[in-house]
Structure 1
Amino acid sequence: MHLYGTQTVNEKGHLAIGGVDVSELASQYGTPVMVYDTELFKKRANAFKKTFEDKGIKAQVAYASKAFSSIAIYQLAEQQGLSLDVVSGGELYTAVAAGFPRERIHFHGNNKSREEIIYAFEEKIGCMVVDNFLEIMLIKEIATERKQKMNVLIRVTPGVEAHTHDYITTGQEDSKFGFDLKNGQTDQAFNALHNHEYINFLGMHCHIGSQIFETDAFRFAAEVLMEKMVKWRETYQFICPVLNLGGGFGIRYTEEDQPLEPAVYVEEMAEVVKAMSEECEYPVPEIWIEPGRSLVGDAGTTIYSAGSTKEVPNVRTYVAVDGGMSDNIRPALYDAHYSSAAANRMNEPHDQQWTIAGKCCESGDKLVEKALLPNVETGDLIAIFCTGAYTYSMASNYNRLPRPAVVFAEKGQHQLVVRRETFEDLIKLDLPLQQLAKEIYE
């Protein structure tokens, strides 16, 4: 059984995260509860930053917060000296509420509204990552109206198809994101922005996909973007000060996954950029990267309580837990695989095969299809590992299930950072039927 970060098995045979017994967390906060190992988050953040420092390359490591967005995680990222990627007005609002330094906020998204762009100007954020021609028009218009400068990168699709799920592959030509590098769109975007009075054009951004285990695609993306930057210098005498190579660094969900250490991805990209800069006599650009999953993915563990069981002879045996696709949609959406354990019986043989099912009214609500566990009993605690990314952030109230609590744990201490939703929370936006509607429907 593979444990992650600071996870241990304590003298009671219970799973402990950050030195805290998860049975204590379940007792205090209820289940499901998401537990984040903040020491692992810090370790990963520092590994990315240190690799750039050791290479002598100026860089920004920005937490891609769509993986998990909350006031507390933004504050933790700020404490580690990270920058921050947001993709909506809501994420920007959360960052503002967290007191995150505006100059280190980068705003992404393929369909930013006028209101979101104005909000970004009002908060004087560090950079807008421009995704389409409508956005170019809006940013130029708003910047001129406000007589306010804005740093921009343009997102490009470099034609790289990373080895990942179709839904999370974003760097190939057929993508809803960015300007195509091959058909001239990138040059059009550059020409529309780089000499505008209120636009400070920084360079290019790309993101080739998620959960990537090899470096070849990152190296190729760095090469093609550097080639374009060199071409712009030759044609327009313009030198890009920034090259943003995105994120997508894989983590280990199951024994089959073989991710690289964070430093390896950075080293490979940095080598390409430095080598091409030297060969072309081009100033080494500041490199930005955007780890999200690789910072929070395996730092997060969800603890459920086991409920009913059901044996289908010669087929499978189910154990139902008190959460499911409402707090983790990834197995149903991506056919994502996870590893698991009986958190209150860690020392017992995990030698029986179970299907861990959720409580949502959907046949497809299965969290782990072939989980190895002991003979599970009602009330046992089931841990599903590596749920820190794209779980809470994609959670819903399907079947009117409240979203779980989120807890940070480190060095024997724990803190509630997102409270569990209540039934009252579920109806706080609902409005009663009015008289007009009664007349229509009666």
Structure 2
Amino acid sequence: MTLLEIFPSLRSAMTPRLDPAVWPASTHVDDHDRITVAGVALADIADQYGTPSYVLDELDLRHRCRTYREVFPEAEIAYAGKALLTRAVATWVTEEGLSLDVCSAGELAIALSAGVNPRRIIMHGNAKTPAELSAARDAGVGRIVIDSHAEITLLAATLTRRQNVLVRVTPGIDAHTHRAVATGVTDQKFGFPLEHGQADEAVRRVLGQPRLNLIGLHCHLGSQITEVEHFRTAVDRMIAQMAQIRIDHGTILTELNLGGGHGISYVCGDPQLDLSSLAATLDDALDDACARHRFPRPRITLEPGRAVAGRAGVTVYRVVSVKHVTGGRTFVCVDGGMSDNPRVALYGAHYSVALANRHSIAAPAVVTVAGRHCEAGDELAVDVQLPSDLHPGDVLAVPGTGAYHHSLASTYNAVGRPPIVAVRDGRSRELIRRETVEDLLRREVSG
């Protein structure tokens, strides 16, 4: 019998195990002190589907889609499929009224196989191949975002009918904030810089192609942006450019796509982008910029990905060993790692970790949760507090793993990628099955 069973009143006085800013909204602790998501115990997920497994709260993801629609009622919201795209996810977001942006022929194929209306698809990519442009053309996607001069020529040469396009512009804004990646600065691979007339030249070339119907501009400032004022600056510069295009070419562009990059919390205390503040800022910035340039207000498109899927996901692992290094760290080694979550190694990302299969009253210990792969840098969480009585067989849960985990997963060390398990109303179902050794061997064509 545990102390909590003898004195139940202690439970309400304890520090909460789960920060509501980090975990799915449906996360709770059941009567057996196990963490549950959408009424399903994560320990049961581990037992039924194995570990590691990605767990995805369907209603949490749908709720975030609806929130965007409510906060930005006059804008188009296009879910950024690069964050996480399966047929089920494509179905959920479009059922909630969102469009979809894709950046490869593979993502386009997933969307089309889910029955997504191609007119609601935006095709991205800084190095689209001829085959990808042909696939987008043949599918009849609603918009293609032009990202290079070569793309202008190639796309125009293969079209048999007019195609709506946007020109991607880099507005020269460094939105590098808390753990952000900046893509709105001039010196990077995406788009055409406003500086030195490069965006102007791209617009001129597009307008010179009769089968390319330029309807707007696109920009993307980066990822994990939490300060709304960066978007005010973007609106000001983009409206100024659209007004100049009207002066130079007599063309009024009607769409302004401001991309995504909306920051979320991964650990307690992380800042996140406030959507209501963003909506007010965009509205004010548009009123001001359009009035100054006497330019008709364009339709706005936003492309959230992480902000829709990130917090809906939790990854479960099983502890394989606990290793105490004299004079050094304590390593809690689990059966996953950088093959299912490369973000720690790639970006120095930080995550919360919790014991999911039981509640411990042991003193906390500062540990490093390490992965199973043959790399010293294969660490999932460094200097996190977990109970000192952790042992092999325990189940750990890492929240905030709905975005850029399945999408970035690899088969390093010939370890198959985890399944995606959707949870809703106390039930679970596989969306993507676990990749097996047989799957890996099936790709071999000679020996």
In 1, are the aligned partners of 2:225 and 2:273 still within 8 Å (CA)?
no
Alignment of 1:336 with 2:349, yes or no, is: yes
- Aligned pair count reads 426
- Which residue of 136, 153, 165 corresponds with 2:166? 153
Answer with 344-353 or 397-406: which moved more.
344-353
Please state whether the residue corresponding to 1:353 is helix, strand or coil. Answer: strand
The question of whether the paired residues in 2 share the 8 Å contact of 1:349 and 1:373 is answered with no
Amino acid at match of 2:393: G
> Paired residue for 1:13, among 16, 20, 33?
33
CA distance in 1, matches of 2:326, 2:287: 60
- Letter paired with 2:245: W
Q: Which residue of 2 aligns with 1:416?
A: 430
Q: What TM-score, normalized by structure 1, do the two folds share?
A: 0.93
Distance in 2, matches of 1:166 and 1:367, equals 16
CA contact (8 A) 1:341 1:350 kept: no
Q: 1:152 to 1:29 in 2, by over 3 A?
A: same
Name the CA distance, whole Å, in 1 between partners of 2:162 and 2:441: 42
Which of 304, 309, 316 is matched with 2:322 structurally? 309
CA contact (8 A) 1:350 1:372 kept: no
TM-superposed CA distance for 1:349, in Å, is 5.6
Q: Where do 5+ consecutive residues of structure 1 fail to align? A: 434-442
- Cα distance, 1:346–1:62 mapped onto 2, change above 3 Å: farther
Q: Match of 1:94, SS?
A: helix
> How far did 1:334 drift?
0.8
Structure 1 residues 131-156: Cα deviation after superposition (integer angstroms, max 9, x where no partner): 0100011111111xxx2111100101
Worse-matched range after superposition: 77-86 or 190-199: 190-199
Q: How big is the shift at 1:309? A: 1.2
Give, in whole Å, the separation in 2 of the partners of 1:222 and 1:349: 52
Match of 1:345 among 358, 371, 374: 358
SS in structure 2 at match of 1:75:
helix
CA distance in 1, matches of 2:363, 2:54: 22
Paired with 2:180 and 2:413, the residues of 1 have a C-alpha distance of: 25
Q: Mind listing any 5+ residue stretches in structure 2 that lack a counterpart?
A: 1-17
Q: Work out which of the residue numbers 23, 31, 35 in structure 1 matches 2:55.
A: 35
The residue type equivalent to 1:408 in the other structure is A
| 3-state SS in 2 of match to 1:355 | strand
Supply the distance in 1 between the matched residues of 2:93 and 2:288 (Cα, whole angstroms): 31
1:136-285 matches, cutoff 5 A:
136-143=152-159, 147-164=160-177, 168-285=181-298
Contact 1:9 1:346 in 2 (8 A): no
CA distance in 1, matches of 2:175, 2:362: 38
Counterpart-to-counterpart distance in 2, 1:366 and 1:325: 7
Equivalent residue in structure 2 for 1:88, among 77, 81, 104: 104
1:24 corresponds in structure 2 to 44
RMSD (Å) for aligned C-alpha atoms: 1.5
Amino acid at match of 1:420: R
How far apart, CA to CA, are the structure 1 residues paired with 2:179 and 2:36? 36
Which 10-residue stretch deviates more, 287-296 or 195-204? 195-204
Greater shift after overlay, 165-174 or 106-115?
165-174
SS of structure 1 residue aligned to 2:213: strand
C-alpha contact 2:120 2:142 (8 A) present in aligned 1: yes
Quick check: 1:381 aligned with 2:395?
Answer: yes
Counterpart of 1:136 in 2: which secondary structure? helix
Counterpart Cα distance in 2 of 1:186 and 1:349: 60
Report the secondary structure of 2:311's partner residue: coil
Q: How does 1:119-138 map to 2 (within 5 A)?
A: 119-138=135-154
Identity of aligned residues (%): 40
Q: Give distance in 2, aligned partners of 1:66 and 1:238.
A: 32
Instruction: Give me the whole-angstrom Cα distance separating, in 2, the residues matched to 1:431 and 1:168.
Output: 39
Tell me by how many angstroms 1:199 deviates: 1.6
**In the alignment, what sits opposite 2:122?**
106
Give yes or no for contact 1:13–1:347 (8 Å, CA) kept in 2: no
Identify the residue that residue 437 of structure 1 maps to in structure 2.
none
**Deviation (angstroms), 1:164:** 4.2
Distance 1:423 1:326, change over 3 A: same
The secondary structure found in structure 1 opposite 2:256 is strand
Output one character per residue of 1:286-337: Cα deviation in whole Å (capped at 9) or x when no partner.
Answer: 1001001111111111000001111012321011111000100011111110
Letter in structure 2 aligned against 1:90: G
